[in-house]
Structure 1
Amino acid sequence: MSTEGNRGAPEPGVDDAIRALLLLMPRMVGRAKRIRVPEELQSLALAPRHLSLLSYLLFDGPMTVNELATRLEVAPTTVSLMVGELSRKGILERREDESDRRRRIISITDGKRPSIDGWLARGAHAWRQALGPLAPEERQMFVRTLRAYEAAMTVDEDD
């Protein structure tokens, strides 16, 4: 059932919002799937899990395995395996941290950076356009809502 909003226009009820999202989500997934992987990266068999790792390195710069693990919400051993795999493919490089030689800093290789940037920048730009006009609280609510949706879908997978 709809309720009246501040501007006099009816606000969608939960069922109305679900109907809108049932149309929108497949379109978004379809568009994301159509983003062409750069030719030089196609043979590398990159999986969706690699995209988040590459995105963090691209947009936030080089970081340690532990920092990546925290951001990706996975174990450091998982990140180490991905970094090893992507390093062998020439996508990532490891170097010593100048301030602590025991630590390794992970970064995208200079040779692959332009391709990865061109590939992932469009999505980041689209999110910036969509989220930029929102107030910080609204952005937080949007992210919380997507996390809640993902968690609810995960629960259904476990049944």
Structure 2
Amino acid sequence: MSTREPGGRDGGRAPGPTVEDAVRALLLLMPRIVGRAKRIRVPGELDSLALAPRHLSLLSYLLVDGPMTVNGLAERLEVAPTTVSLMVGELSRKGVLERREDESDRRRRIVSITEEKRPAIAAWLAPGAAAWRRALGPLTPEQRRMFVDTLLAYEAAVAEERDSQ
């Protein structure tokens, strides 16, 4: 990978790849990452539940952050509370999630993964979380923010490209 930077001055740091070199590297890397993610086996106990990617994000938040309200999940997932309510209802009927009253405000419902399904969901999602922790752990908070922001910008650009076609 070329490390030439226009202008030749790098402020004492080792220069990074050119934009084209970085694009080339990522075009080779992304299919491998997606391929590995697709090969993660759904535990037999969950296989019959027909979980979709939208469910994985919801389950990931509940696994990592613990029980929360529908509105809290909606905010994190960046979708409407009604969308989360529908998903929670679907997963509750399948025995994956449970809803209970919030002791401090009985109008609110707290959503959590059922104790019965928690081990299978944790075994399924934990390796990905551990890999992200290993990859992101050595970075500074600013570098982690830049990485996440870059992935978000990439996602938005891909959506924009698709919508313009």
Sort the TM-score into its range (normalised by shorter chain). Answer: over 0.9
1:104-150 superposed Cα distances (whole Å, 9 cap, x missing partner): 00000000000000000000000000001000000000011000000
User: Aligned-pair distance for 1:156?
Assistant: 1.3
For 2:49, the aligned partner's letter is L
1:82-108 superposed Cα distances (whole Å, 9 cap, x missing partner): 000000000000001111111100000
For 1:67, the aligned partner's letter is G
User: Aligned-pair distance for 1:7?
Assistant: 5.4
Give unpaired runs (5+ residues) of structure 1.
none
* Structure 1 stretches of at least 4 aligned residues deviating more than 4 Å after TM superposition: none
Number of matched residues?
158
Give unpaired runs (5+ residues) of structure 2.
none
User: What SS class does the counterpart of residue 96 from structure 1 fall into?
Assistant: strand
Residue in 1 that maps onto 2:99:
94
TM-score by length of 2: 0.92
For 2:42, the aligned partner's letter is V
Q: Tell me how large the CA RMSD over aligned residues is.
A: 1.2
TM-score by length of 1: 0.96
Is 1:16 aligned to residue 21 of structure 2? yes
